[in-house]
């Protein structure tokens, strides 16, 4: 399951449960349509606390999506996770897509104020990893 929300600072993406390639492809297509009218820099807040590990095919689609968001003006993104496996997957995907230096990761299971820290990164550039 995924959801895209347009907010003042940019976009909030929610990925949950198991997402296979067809659904991830649908997310990429929907993101493309939503981003057609996007102008200027924006932030992306990604909540994937309940996401299951992705298949290779779904990871490839996620890479395409990340490149799309960056090309359309993504300035910073934060990813909220609660799984070491998912964290490793998404660090690898971000390196592959070229957004790694603009993305930060917060383990919600160890950081009760994950939303505040994530928004500080998106809005003010305050690095939650430091």
The 10s digit of each residue's pLDDT in 46-88 is: 999 999 999 999 999 999 999 999 999 999 999 999 999 999 9
pLDDT, residue 129, reads: 84
Q: Is residue 130 part of a domain?
A: no
Give the Cβ contact number of residue 105 at 10 Å.
19
Confidence of residue 111 (pLDDT cuts 50, 70, 90): very high
Q: Is residue 58 part of a domain?
A: yes
The kind and range of the H/E element at 109 are none
Query: Residue 106: which of 123, 89, 83, 124 has the closest Cα?
Result: 83
Confidence of residue 124 (pLDDT cuts 50, 70, 90): very high
CATH code for the domain in which residue 67 is found:
3.30.750
Domain around 67: 2-34+42-124
pLDDT, residue 128, reads: 94
pLDDT, residue 101, reads: 94
Q: Is residue 57 part of a domain?
A: yes
Looking at the structure of the chain, the number of domains it has is 1
68-100 in b/e form (b: 16+ CB < 10 A) is: ebbebebebbbbbbbbeebbebbeebbeebebe
The structure tokens 């067809």 sit at: 22
Q: Is residue 76 part of a domain?
A: yes
């Amino acid at each position: 399951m995924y959801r895209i929300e347009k907010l003042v600072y940019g976009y909030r993406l929610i990925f949950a449960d198991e997402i296979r390639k067809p659904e991830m492809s649908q997310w990429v297509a929907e993101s493309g349509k939503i981003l057609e009218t996007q102008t200027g820099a924006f932030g992306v807040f990604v909540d994937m606390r309940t996401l299951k590990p992705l298949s290779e095919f779904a990871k490839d689609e996620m890479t395409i999506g990340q490149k799309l968001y960056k090309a359309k003006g993504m300035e910073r993104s934060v990813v909220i996770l609660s799984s070491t496996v998912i964290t490793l997957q998404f660090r690898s995907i971000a390196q592959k897509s070229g957004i790694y230096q603009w993305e930060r990761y917060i383990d919600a299971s160890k950081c009760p104020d994950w939303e505040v820290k994530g928004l500080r990164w998106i809005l003010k550039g305050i690095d939650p990893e430091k």
